[in-house]
Structure 1
Amino acid sequence: MSSVVLVAFAVVIIGYLFSQFYKTLKELVRLNRICNKEFKKLNGPPALPLIGSAHLFEWDNQKFTYQIEGWGRSYGVAPDSCGAIKLWIGPVPLAILLSPEALRPLLESTENITKPEQYNKITEWIGSGLLTSTNEKWRSRRKILTPTFHFTVLQKYQEVFARQGMLMVSLIARASATPEGIDIFPYIKRCALDIICETAMGTTVNAQICSNNAYVDAVQRISEIIWNHERLPWLWLKPIFYLSGLGFEFDRKVKLTNDFTRKVIADKKKEIEDHGDPETFGVDPDTGAPKKMAFLDMLLKMQTQNTLSDEDIREEVDTFMFEGHDTTASGMVFTLWWLGQYPEYQAKVHEELDEIFGDDYLRPPSNDDVKRMVYLEKCIKEALRLFPSVPFIARRLSQDMFIPHATQGSVRLPAGMTVVGVPLAAGRDARYFERPEDFFPEHFDAERVAKREPYAYVPFSAGPRNCIGQKFAILEEKTVLSCIFRWFQVESVEKWPKGRPVPELILRPAGKVVVKMRRRQKL
């Protein structure tokens, strides 16, 4: 009996693999047809049928970054190049856009806004919210959500940024006495999670105090799994994905994060019901004063005015949770790491903060204080130029797109093709940054910015699909980092070019970010 079951199982697996191979073959034929001779003008690494260039990929994630960088320099800046290269991942051809000129037609387009199939795994996790949706659904969601990121709304979050940032400083102070230094990244990630939970959901998880947070660990592991799924074509076959164990682990982690969000939404809806009349929601029932509303509060308040279901709201909250804590944590830790290597720039940050706060080192940063942190903002932007939190911007073309070519006028990329923009490459273009490989905050002096090609710096993307939360991110990062640099002088133990980050969904440190913290103030 067992042998019959085994044979039946084998037949099912073989049949499934054959059907997947047939689908792959059809996709290969289709994509080869749209890859016209103009696309073949692009340079790129050698590719084989079906597997493309995947057989060349380094398994180690950090080595893979060197490999991609090498291909970009070898094929993307040749005299007959146009700031773009071609890369086959399995049967899927990608046009990788490296220069600001190549990025411009993609990011400016109001039609080429569709996310490609490579985002399907992300959709299985956070749903089809603002990050992954397209066309009319995306336009509708963007219109609905834009008011929730108005500057007057963001100002109300300032108290949360400051309170959580100062809590983080007190925790760092207890741990920073060791002469070997501390790994600062976990502190910053937990702080960012507490901020996003309070601002996005109106709930407190106390991640900074209870440091073993399952949500943080789940998000990081999901990101790792999705990244490996995208770059290794054999994992696209579900049996292999699940037999490797990654599929089951992915499902468990996704359920954990989704259940967390759904519970918060259910609790919040009950809270609204308990307050009675929806017209008074957002007003303290005891004092009559306006309540500080979280992102979720505003979505639920709008639910009666729009067609948002509970699951629609879950998608947007999960999107904001993921993009709002992982990206800002990455931006903050890399800013701190770079400043820890350049004491002359860090001294300017200290001078600016001392001028704003004077001897009143216990005062939480206000909105007016943050506006005066001009030099700190330059440092944050320079860190994002070198290490943008989102390393890739991908689209599936809805219509043909033309990118300029130095010698042949232009290259046509056909509708149906997947194109990938690389902000990190554009941000190191020596034509627009005088010290492209160095940390040099003066790149963001007003006169330099005014003269620069605007698509040379796109860490938040640009055009119609730019990041809706970029002002939120900058305000949070300025506030939290100001708390650190008011009290500490920071020295990075491992300096560039060591400490090279690795790309996943978010660019993150490959390992620990160990820094030595010397107190400037008594706490």
Structure 2
Amino acid sequence: MLLFITLTAVLVYVIYKWSTSTYDFFERQGIPYRKPLPLFGTNINMLLKKKPFIDVLKEWYNEFENEKLSGLFEFRRPVVLIRDPQIIKQLTIKDFDHFMDHRVLITEDIDPLFGKNLVSLTGDKWKDMRATLSPAFTGSKMRQMFDFVSTVAIESAEILKIDIESGKENNFEFKDFASKFTCDNIASCAFGIEVNSFKNPTNDFLRIAKKVMNFSSPLMGLKLVGYFTSPKLMKSLGISLLDKESCDYFQNALIDTMRTREKLGIIRNDMINLMLEAKKGKLVHNINEESSADGFATVEESHVGKSKVNRKWEELDLAAQCFIFFLAGFDTVAQTMSFVAYELACNPDIQQRLYEEILQTVNDIDNQKINYEQLQSMKYLDQVISETLRKWPAAPMTDRLCTKDFDLKYDNKVMKFEKDVNSIMIPIWMLHRNPKYFPNPDKFDPERFNDENKHKIQDFTYLPFGAGPRNCIGSRFALMEVKTIFFYLLLNFSIEVTEKTQIPLKFENLPFQMKPEKGIWVELRPRV
């Protein structure tokens, strides 16, 4: 018995020393930091689901409000929270080569479909894939795919109108509607298939998409903790983050479609066709293309994305890009759509002004069917979407991993970053809600983004699609989706609050997620 107690005490001591061995990192450098708990670091409120993630982020951001940066611990890993926009600019652009990668949980040797996608790739392979994909997300390519998005939006509005006029409930949770819309868009634009989730809400594509995106389940939470703390152990145990059946479904669908098209010479202006062009080395930038008219929130491609690529890609490499297109675009775009609906319902004066712009646009087009250029010319629509992304950014934070040792000099201080040890956290939510940069930040005010005011926004305080060469490559597609659906929704319906609409919104206590605790309920009332 004594031996057992002694061994247990020794084991506990060893685990304690191992779990706290990095906790002097910031103290040694004189950097203020949030005090960690053994093993759990500063994540305990998230892990125990005591608070919504945005409240946790707010605590982290405000604890050292007079500092340009401060320290946190992601379990044992030292993380530097950057508050200063100029330092964010420096690390994501000027010194990008020192902070090139995201923190990667799933590498391609663990799960090829997930590990080979653009978000997970690192180093030169990421650079080559970014440059390969970049021409697929220009304004001209969005223009080619716009008909697919427009068709889904028109059909969605028509089905809703028929259902409501036939007596079906017009009071519903908007995220459910938005998920069907994004599902149909991605199925069409990235997989080349038509699923029509409004007529067939039990289709396999939507069912498996929801299954893959269920990051709030207890099992998924345990897997995430395992990959954060011991990725090698998770790999050796053969535990995959995403459901294998779901990944196999998407992988087989993509590769089968690519092979069929190559064999039969089928051409369809969608993402698979662009991937096939990339495989042949035919996907290149149009240097004369104008891209500034695609919306204020649109991110511009850097020199990395415009460089020449000689690497040959395999089928699975390219299929993985369609898969991340699905992962990144399914839930986040549906979430943004839900917040747009919420703000329009809560601000009927703003909704009315946007409706008037839509009516004016309709008067200038034939058959009430808008084209890509006409959509991009709608200034107030862009203001509404830009302000939604400020108040409710799809990603409340983003990260970068230190890939080369680096000394950051600021305010007569030096912060020493160590390769593969430190990562930085960019608190997008808090930058967008900081009254120093956006006065009265809780107010929904599209006028922040009108022609007179938008140029006053300080650089690197508005980051809805991230910062630097590693920003979100799909910003144009996401904005196109959201703008198109609300053009046709508001043309046919007014969006109104109901007794189920939660004002103000409150969020569930979930790690790294923004899930309204009661959903976003609205009423769609047909226009006479």
Task: Please say if residues 54 and 231 of structure 1, whose CA atoms lie closer than 8 Å, have aligned partners that are also in contact.
Answer: no
Looking at structure 1, the residues matched to 357 and 13 of structure 2 have their Cα atoms a distance apart, in angstroms, of: 61
Letter matched to residue 103 of structure 2 = P
- State the 1:182 CA deviation: 1.0
The aligned residue for residue 132 of structure 2 is 144
Task: Please say if residues 52 and 90 of structure 1, whose CA atoms lie closer than 8 Å, have aligned partners that are also in contact.
Answer: yes
Please tell me whether residue 37 in structure 1 is matched to residue 28 in structure 2: yes
Looking at structure 2, the residues matched to 126 and 142 of structure 1 have their Cα atoms a distance apart, in angstroms, of: 16
Task: Please say if residues 45 and 56 of structure 2, whose CA atoms lie closer than 8 Å, have aligned partners that are also in contact.
Answer: no
What whole-Å deviation, never above 9, does each CA across 1:45-80 have from its counterpart, x for those lacking one?
A: x3233332344446337544323323322x141x3x
What whole-Å deviation, never above 9, does each CA across 1:218-256 have from its counterpart, x for those lacking one?
A: 2221475697358756984689989xxxx97955x2431
The aligned residue for residue 158 of structure 2 is 170
Looking at structure 1, the residues matched to 115 and 526 of structure 2 have their Cα atoms a distance apart, in angstroms, of: 44
**SS of the residue 1:467 aligns to:** coil
- State the 1:42 CA deviation: 2.3
- State the 1:313 CA deviation: 1.5
- State the 1:102 CA deviation: 4.0
Change (3 A) 1:491 1:51: same
Task: Please say if residues 502 and 518 of structure 2, whose CA atoms lie closer than 8 Å, have aligned partners that are also in contact.
Answer: no
Equivalent positions of 1:45-444 (< 5 A) are 46-57=35-46, 59-60=48-49, 63-73=52-62, 75-77=63-65, 79=66, 81-82=67-68, 84-108=69-93, 109-111=95-97, 112-118=99-105, 124=111, 126-176=114-164, 181-212=171-202, 213-222=206-215, 228-229=221-222, 232=225, 236=229, 250-251=241-242, 253-275=243-265, 282=267, 292-305=268-281, 307-358=312-363, 363-400=368-405, 408=412, 411-415=415-419, 416-444=421-449
The aligned residue for residue 466 of structure 2 is 461
- State the 1:514 CA deviation: 0.7
**SS of the residue 1:498 aligns to:** coil
Change (3 A) 1:413 1:425: farther
Task: Please say if residues 172 and 521 of structure 2, whose CA atoms lie closer than 8 Å, have aligned partners that are also in contact.
Answer: yes
The aligned residue for residue 500 of structure 1 is 507
- State the 1:365 CA deviation: 2.0
Looking at structure 2, the residues matched to 94 and 294 of structure 1 have their Cα atoms a distance apart, in angstroms, of: 39
The aligned residue for residue 520 of structure 2 is 513
**SS of the residue 1:340 aligns to:** helix
Task: Please say if residues 432 and 456 of structure 1, whose CA atoms lie closer than 8 Å, have aligned partners that are also in contact.
Answer: yes
Letter matched to residue 215 of structure 1 = I
Change (3 A) 1:299 1:190: same
Scaled by the length of structure 1, the TM-score of the pair is 0.81
Change (3 A) 1:151 1:235: closer
Change (3 A) 1:123 1:333: farther
Task: Please say if residues 507 and 515 of structure 2, whose CA atoms lie closer than 8 Å, have aligned partners that are also in contact.
Answer: no
Looking at structure 2, the residues matched to 21 and 324 of structure 1 have their Cα atoms a distance apart, in angstroms, of: 45
- State the 1:502 CA deviation: 6.8
Change (3 A) 1:436 1:102: farther
Equivalent positions of 1:475-486 (< 5 A) are 475-486=480-491
What whole-Å deviation, never above 9, does each CA across 1:401-441 have from its counterpart, x for those lacking one?
A: 56676x65564444430211121111112122122121111
Letter matched to residue 37 of structure 2 = L
What whole-Å deviation, never above 9, does each CA across 1:333-389 have from its counterpart, x for those lacking one?
A: 111111111111111111100111139896222113202221111111111111111
- State the 1:293 CA deviation: 1.9
Query: Unpaired runs of 5+ in structure 2?
Result: 1-6, 282-310
Task: Please say if residues 94 and 417 of structure 1, whose CA atoms lie closer than 8 Å, have aligned partners that are also in contact.
Answer: yes
Looking at structure 2, the residues matched to 377 and 399 of structure 1 have their Cα atoms a distance apart, in angstroms, of: 39
Looking at structure 2, the residues matched to 510 and 248 of structure 1 have their Cα atoms a distance apart, in angstroms, of: 30
Change (3 A) 1:187 1:358: same
Change (3 A) 1:32 1:390: same
**SS of the residue 1:447 aligns to:** coil
Q: Work out the number of aligned pairs and report it.
A: 478
The aligned residue for residue 278 of structure 1 is none
Change (3 A) 1:23 1:321: farther
Letter matched to residue 221 of structure 1 = N
Change (3 A) 1:502 1:355: farther
**SS of the residue 1:497 aligns to:** coil
Looking at structure 2, the residues matched to 266 and 223 of structure 1 have their Cα atoms a distance apart, in angstroms, of: 31
**SS of the residue 2:400 aligns to:** strand
**SS of the residue 1:453 aligns to:** coil
What whole-Å deviation, never above 9, does each CA across 1:124-145 have from its counterpart, x for those lacking one?
A: 4622221111110011111111
Change (3 A) 1:127 1:205: farther
Task: Please say if residues 394 and 419 of structure 1, whose CA atoms lie closer than 8 Å, have aligned partners that are also in contact.
Answer: yes
- State the 1:33 CA deviation: 7.0
- State the 1:457 CA deviation: 0.5
**SS of the residue 2:96 aligns to:** coil
Letter matched to residue 193 of structure 2 = T
**SS of the residue 1:201 aligns to:** coil
Task: Please say if residues 149 and 472 of structure 1, whose CA atoms lie closer than 8 Å, have aligned partners that are also in contact.
Answer: yes
Query: Unpaired runs of 5+ in structure 1?
Result: 1-13, 276-280, 283-291
Task: Please say if residues 117 and 320 of structure 2, whose CA atoms lie closer than 8 Å, have aligned partners that are also in contact.
Answer: yes
Q: 156-165 or 178-187, which moves further after superposition?
A: 178-187
Looking at structure 2, the residues matched to 360 and 440 of structure 1 have their Cα atoms a distance apart, in angstroms, of: 29
Letter matched to residue 210 of structure 2 = D
Task: Please say if residues 107 and 463 of structure 1, whose CA atoms lie closer than 8 Å, have aligned partners that are also in contact.
Answer: yes
**SS of the residue 2:156 aligns to:** helix
Letter matched to residue 74 of structure 2 = I
What whole-Å deviation, never above 9, does each CA across 1:419-475 have from its counterpart, x for those lacking one?
A: 111211111121221221211111112332212212011111121111111111111
Task: Please say if residues 389 and 508 of structure 1, whose CA atoms lie closer than 8 Å, have aligned partners that are also in contact.
Answer: no
Q: Over aligned residue pairs, what C-alpha RMSD do you find? A: 3.6
Looking at structure 1, the residues matched to 48 and 109 of structure 2 have their Cα atoms a distance apart, in angstroms, of: 22
Scaled by the length of structure 2, the TM-score of the pair is 0.80
Looking at structure 1, the residues matched to 141 and 506 of structure 2 have their Cα atoms a distance apart, in angstroms, of: 37
What whole-Å deviation, never above 9, does each CA across 1:169-215 have from its counterpart, x for those lacking one?
A: 12333455667821121111111111112111222222232212222
**SS of the residue 2:346 aligns to:** coil
Change (3 A) 1:428 1:404: farther
